[in-house]
Amino acid sequence: MPIKPGLMAFRSGEVLSYVAGVVLTGFFVVQLAQGEVERQGGIAEFELLAQQSATSVEPSAATSAPASNPTQDFEDVGAPDTSLWNAARVADYEASLKADLPQVLGVLEVPEVGLKVPVYATNTDLVMDRGAGVIDGMSYPHEPGNIGISGHRDGYFRVLKDVKVGDRIVLQTLEGEKTFKINATTIVPIADKTLLRDTDDQTVTLVTCYPFYFVGHAPKRFIVTASLDSPNVNQN
């Protein structure tokens, strides 16, 4: 019995639809498999990059840690020798350890008298309870000019009573170590600011109250002046 043209067309369409469905299903399966391969590859690549990043960052962080906080070594100069200190000043020092202080700009050392003290950016009483401070308007340790540093006469700076002309002052600064040689020690009235003037050459001026052993507000100032010891040191 001959097949009617309409039925043949219907059967042909049915077969074509089936074939198309198989092809589309196969294409979908292939795409799905390829996508899964890419996804797994992406995950593996991410994990590899993460491992490489962790490996490279950890040593870098350890290496750069001191540079991220350059003042850390400046501040950590160890506990001071308080054997010559006033008892009240020792108590003030201990209290200052709990206080927030300004930036540390360097470390001042006078090896001949055993002085080693952090130098802060200001010279408030609280700062000088903890260390020494840059006098307002005078140069910072890393700057040219007259570097003025003050400290309490009954604390860190009491040992200055024993310094002599020719003794060294070593200043650790943000641009490296600088060495100065003491030129003179001078006692002046409290209002005399002559030695605090700026200088063309880089100098250090240490200031504390005087007399060193005095009850009440000391009427004078003890000043140590020093000039740069070596012409090879960077003065900028």
Task: Show the 3-state SS of 131-155.
Answer: CEEECCCCCCCCCCCEEEEECCCCC
Residue 184 three-state SS: strand
The mean pLDDT of 46-62, rounded to a whole number, is: 39
Would you state the pLDDT for residue 231? 55
Q: Is pLDDT above 70 for 113?
A: yes
pTM: 0.68
The mean pLDDT of 112-127, rounded to a whole number, is: 95
Backbone angles phi, psi at 146, to 5 degrees: -90, 110
Better-predicted residue by pLDDT, 149 or 229: 149
How far apart are the C-alpha atoms of 170 and 230, rounded to whole Å? 12
Q: Is pLDDT above 80 for 71?
A: no
Q: Is pLDDT above 70 for 164?
A: yes
How far apart are the C-alpha atoms of 227 and 146, rounded to whole Å? 9
Residue 63 burial by Cβ neighbours in a 10 Å radius (0-12, 13-18, 19+): exposed
Q: 23 forms bridges with which residues in the sheet?
A: none
Residues 146 and 138 sit within 8 Å (Cβ to Cβ): yes
Query: Would residue 142 show up in a list of annotated catalytic residues for this protein?
Result: no
Q: Is pLDDT above 80 for 181?
A: yes
Q: 172 forms bridges with which residues in the sheet?
A: 107, 177
Q: Which of 89, 130, 152, 178 is catalytic?
A: 152
Q: Which of 119, 147, 160, 209 is catalytic?
A: 209
Q: Is pLDDT above 60 for 7?
A: no
Residue among 123, 115, 124 nearest 156 (CA): 115
Task: pLDDT band for 75, please (50, 70, 90 cuts).
Answer: low
Would you state the pLDDT for residue 42? 37
Would you state the pLDDT for residue 1? 52
Task: pLDDT band for 107, please (50, 70, 90 cuts).
Answer: very high
Give the containing element (helix H, strand E) for 14.
helix 5-68
